[in-house]
Structure 1
Amino acid sequence: MSGELKRNPGFPNMAGKPDIDDALAAELEAAGIEVHRFAYRKDPKHEVSTEVIGSLHGWKFERAWYYWRCEGPGIELAAAERLHASHGREVRVAGHCGHPSPREWYKGLAVDSYHVDTPAGLKALADTIRALVDRAAAPAPAEAVPEQVAKARAAAIQAVYHFADVAQREKSVHVRSDDYARADQAAIDAISRLAKAVQPPPTDAEAVRRAALEEALAVLQRMKDTRIDGGGPWYVLDTAQDNIRSLSTQPPAEGK
């Protein structure tokens, strides 16, 4: 039919099939999505029995019978509409088989859920996520970042990466060690200090203030990306992220 998108070759049906972990990992890797393996997730009673799960900048990828379920922080409307224009029949908004547009289904809000039926569609979604994150993470000029923000940022990144190392070592352990708990709390505390540091005095330019806020959000997202196994107090990180975002909509505080 003229004007209708051509559908790319789809994923194979993996429902009820054994020994599929390597094949599913390869599907994720082909799209540039990080692969994680958790033995406890493998259950023959599930539609697809696999220990494989994917993650990318806070997005989670789980295999269903012939598609990937993808959920994450959200894709802004303009980017989601471009993705829909090129791959809307195989990257299905909210998993809808009727292929509604992002604007139609989410009423202008960010798209946080897709069902993806093809390798080409999965790569297109991953590329869209990476492009948005890369754009947001473009660093501010070094001279524009206030000293207290730079120090808080460095400390937060160090704490987050230490937590990531500990979490990686213990990713298949059900009972967390004291090292995990200490690294977890240290990272949350460091992020909290960074969130406070991004409120510069009123003499600083608004552009500097917003750049510092973006730094805080980027570091916090790195922290959340290490939690693919669901461990730790998610609500603390979600609340911190909401609080930092709210600062970007408020004018700088008046000097006393």
Structure 2
Amino acid sequence: MGRLDNKIAIVTGGGSGLGKAISETYAELGAKVVVTDINEENAQMVAAAIGENATAIKQDVASEQGWQDIFAATADRFGTPHVLVNNAGLVIPANIEDCTLEQFRHTNAVMLEGVFLGCREAVRSMKTQSEPCSIINMSSMAALQGYSPFLSYAAAKGGVRSMTKSVALHCKEQNYPIRCNSLHPSGIDTPMVRQEAVGAEGDATPETGMIPLGGLGHPKDVANLCVYLASDESRFMTAGEYPVENGTLHQPQM
């Protein structure tokens, strides 16, 4: 048996990077996966590679109606979901002096309002489930440390961090079968991190073996933790924040 047998999961931003790794790993361990992405072609390729236990849907996570449609389509195809991974994101390089209001609003529409809409629809859908459910929100080390070259990104991820705890506590207070936790990766070897605007360089990160301090993580490093948080093994864990950063948070500054 797989660790995620009979689980139904929605993964946003599932067409590449972390979302792709999470979708593939979930399916390998028995889950049925709805892969959503603003890039429909990428989502379809991921779902096609997984096979009959996955479906792809184009989604703009900033659309309120779009979220309602995603949950309705998931219910029609597989049933009421047990897991939501709010992973979709973007990076716009701009510090406090350079960032425009349009850039700030766009970033937060996708990565903060989008997570709010996803959490709200998930709670409304999952609260009647008889089985444990899990919302996993992708935050960032930027929410724990700050990230001056990417102001709007850090602001959105900081909001996700605190909103996650509020969602978790509400579900606990209402005795809903829903856990909600946030993940806080540092640099992970994904297309978003490799783009010129972010500037990550060096050799591709291997899937196994030790990673040197300061090196990029592999998408599987995040996907494996997402497996645990999606599974019933993490039944006593909610409102938590989990760094995935190879010691970056505690690295001494010379």
Q: Considering the TM-score relative to the shorter chain, is it more than 0.5? A: no
- Which one scores higher on RCO, CA 8 angstroms, separation ≥ 6? 2
TM-score (norm 2): 0.30
Q: Quick check: which one's helix share is greater? A: 1
Instruction: Return the index of the structure with the highest Cα Rg.
Output: 1
